[in-house]
Amino acid sequence: MVVEIHVPLSPTPNLPDGAYPYPWIEEVEDFLADLEDQGDVEVFDDGEEVADAYVFCVTGAGEEDLLAVASRVATLPGVPPGTFAVVSDDGAEELGLGRRVTLPLPMA
Report the 10 Å Cβ neighbour count for 98: 16
Answer yes or no: is pLDDT of 1 > 60: yes
Q: What is the pTM of this model?
A: 0.93
Q: Is the pLDDT of residue 80 over 80?
A: yes
Mean pLDDT of the region 50-77:
96
Walk me through the domains of the chain, giving residue ranges and CATH numbers.
Answer: 2-102 (3.30.70)
With cut-offs at 50, 70 and 90, classify the pLDDT of residue 108: low
- Bridge partners, residue 3, by sequence: 58, 87
Distance (Å, rounded) from C-alpha 101 to C-alpha 67? 8
